[in-house]
Amino acid sequence: MITFRQLIAFFVTVLITITGFAQPLQTIDRIYDPRIQTVLLFPVVGGNPNDPALTLNPPVIALDEQVPLQLEFDDLTANYRSFRARLIHCNADWQRSVLNDIEFTYEYNDNPITDYQTSINTKIPYYHYRFTIPRVKLPGNYLLVVYDERNRDNILFTRRFSTYQNRINVNAAARFSTDPSRQFSDQQIDLAIDYKGYQVISPQDDFRVVIRQNYRDDRTIRGLRPTNVRAFDQVLEFRLVDLSNTLPGGNEFRFFDTRTMLSRANYIDRIDRPADRNIAYVQVGQPRSRGAYIQSDDFNGMFVIDHRETGNGATNGDYVEMIFTLRTPNVSGADVYVNGAFNFWRLDDRNRMTFDPALGAYQASILLKQGVYNYDYAVLTTGAQPKVDEAYIEGSYSATENDYEVFVYHRPPAARADQLVAYRRLGVNKRK
């Protein structure tokens, strides 16, 4: 008779065989070890991996182009630790596929991370690691898993990335919503898929379309069905009247500049310099949900790491304790957060704000590396069904400048996993 202990051991063995890890993995962008900070994954376009602006590009690359993806992160233990990286293939819904490693990798799928440097002249010491993502065979979604070499179950963080192979054409356009009641607050994406010369059995059912706003996985549209199938022309049209292809426009992001600690830069009120760290106070914020839209330039929620004095933010950039203050009445039944790509758009204890009745404002303290950051303030209701609302404080305007991506997935006949067969980037309200 099989005992309960033997049954558990069997399932753990199966889990390790399938994923390579003895614990279930969430296929999301997430840092599990709080001592790991500033995890960047970006394509190295132009051959200069030290260009800070490269990190503004999403980790989405063409399979046929020789553009590497580079991973960078810091370990604030200030002690050398051995890390390894592994890739996991995912389907269009970001659930792990059934593919074996040999089906999507060229090399053994377990790589040591050996490129590292120590921080230079920083109050908070750290090790800075770099790793180039190995090439993959198939277009699609992938999860990068970085773990401690000495303990395979100690997963440090996970990062998503995608590779595409444009086998069909996507025509897309973004504009304000066709609903009169939402035309000043929402943006609508109309698109058409031209699949001439591409083998597909049931085009209206086989293609899976995902639309993403500002490279955010929490701002996506899924499950779209074509409104018109032009079988003779081999074109699918998505011109929906139910507003399922509509997203809030949001507002331009707030930002601050901490590239130097020698003086106050943009939107920094003051800087304190105790011996063990630097403390910077971000300019006090006010709600922007009322009034007219105000045009400004931003990074659409992203950030860049840089150090003005040396030009080398990777190892010369220090970690700064950032103090955020939002002057607004206490929001009952909800929590308020500082939101941005610096936290993978996650609302958790790291970026939760606390209301101070004496100040009549919310405050939060977040440790961030020197650079230029975009952020906004988000509200999360605390009821039975929590809901994120960025418009409550920031407002939402169709005139806002945003970036959009269109992903089209298909599982070819006899294939065992979804492939990314088309990728398109487009912008709305671009001013430069």
Contact 63, 111 (CB under 8 A): no
pTM over 0.85: yes
> For the chain, which domains are there?
4-164 (2.60.40), 169-249+400-428 (2.60.40), 254-394 (no CATH)
Distance, in Å, from the CA atom of 308 to the CA atom of 370, rounded to the nearest integer, reads: 9
Neighbour tally for 73: CB within 10 Å: 23
Residues 294 and 397: their CA atoms lie apart, in Å, by 10
Q: What is the pLDDT along the chain (432 residues), one digit of tens a residue?
A: 454 443 433 333 334 444 566 557 899 999 999 999 999 999 998 767 788 999 999 999 999 988 999 999 999 999 999 999 999 999 999 999 999 999 999 999 999 999 999 999 999 999 999 999 999 999 999 999 999 999 989 999 999 999 999 999 999 999 999 999 999 999 999 999 999 999 999 999 999 999 999 999 999 999 999 999 999 999 999 988 889 999 999 999 999 999 999 999 999 999 999 999 999 999 999 999 988 899 999 999 999 999 999 999 999 999 999 999 999 999 999 999 999 999 999 999 999 999 999 999 999 999 999 999 999 999 999 888 899 999 999 999 999 999 999 999 999 998 999 999 999 999 999 986
